[in-house]
Amino acid sequence: MAIPKWHEFMAPILRVMSDGRTRDRSEITAAAADDVQLTETEREVTLTTGQPMYANRVGWAISHLSKAGALARPERGRYVITDDGRALLAKYPAVTRADVEAVTGYRRKRSITETTAKVTEEVESLDPSELIDQGIRQIQEEVAAELLTRLMAKPPTFFEQTVVDLLVAMGYGGAEGQARVTSATGDGGIDGVIDQDTLGLNRVYIQAKRYAPDNSVGRPEVQGFVGALSGKADGGVFITTGRFSPGARQYAEAVPTRIILIDGERLASLMIRFGVGVQAKQTVQIVEIDEDYFD
């Protein structure tokens, strides 16, 4: 991934704005992304909030240039280049943070003091939202690993109930449906059933297998699950704490029966997202200026 850092978007923004037109943030963001030739894959990278990473970085660059006086805001949410902005781009085409300070005198205040120059530079290359996002991702990675460890330590029936609880939390079953773990024996490879409606006309069948993270579910297990569904349903969900072999995934994609495979990594991610086995420890409120208030 080669998405420019927030400060690396300053030059593209000024290049885009150098024609003197007034643009809103969305127009600047799209034009800056085109200027640096972001790929579709890079544009699809998001923060934990769901916002595209490049858009977040362009936003902080716009804010920095506005505070420095390189961009002016003639009306709410719209920007135009200033004489300082033109001078900055003409004198320093690459437009670094030092260049902005040299031309405009504005310097972004550092909110985090680090002990080494290397770490300081790494922190300064991220905008505040990304620093928060980075911390959230690290916490979620640690919790995800702990979730899988806890699931492996519990009895198989606990794991089966957990996957049923997860699918219900995801919205399967609805207000009138039912969800249940099947009997421990004689279930024909089916560990859980969710009725999507009161009469059970639309059902989701589940198989849950606890595997160590480095062990994979192979094609025979998935094939057996498909066989257990024969005559019962057109599809099902196979969930494991481990992973699926390439052969298992290829088979699931090729077979007419609709089979969704959820490995340990995705399982833990979904449990965190839908609040199964986890609870919120702290909520952080991020504020921004209410432009309507000041208009």
- The least confident of 56-65, 119-128, 135-144, 273-282 is 119-128
Q: Is 235:265 a contact under the CB 8 Å cutoff? A: no
- Give the CATH number of domain 6-126: 1.10.10
List all residues 6 or more positions away from 77 whose beta carbon is below 8 Å from its beta carbon: 24, 25, 291
* Residue 127, number of CB atoms within 10 A of its CB: 21
Interior angle at CA 131, CA 125 and CA 132, nearest 5: 160
Distance CA 159, CA 152 (A): 8
pLDDT at 291: 72
Q: How confident is the model at residue 7 (pLDDT cuts 50, 70, 90)?
A: very high
pLDDT, tens digit, for every residue of 67-106?
899 999 898 889 999 999 999 999 999 999 999 999 998 8
CA–CA separation, 44 vs 266, rounded Å? 19
162-212 per-position pLDDT tens digit: 998 998 888 887 555 567 676 544 455 688 888 776 666 677 889 999 998
Is 229 exposed, middle or buried, given 0-12, 13-18 or 19+ CB atoms closer than 10 A? buried
- Domain borders along the chain are 6-126, 154-273
Per CATH, 6-126 and 154-273 having the same topology is answered no
The domain made up of 154-273 is a member of CATH 3.20.20.140? no
| C-beta separation of 204 from 194 below 8 A | yes
Rg (CA), the chain: 26
How big, in percent rounded to 5, are the helix, strand and coil portions of the chain? Answer: 50, 15, 35
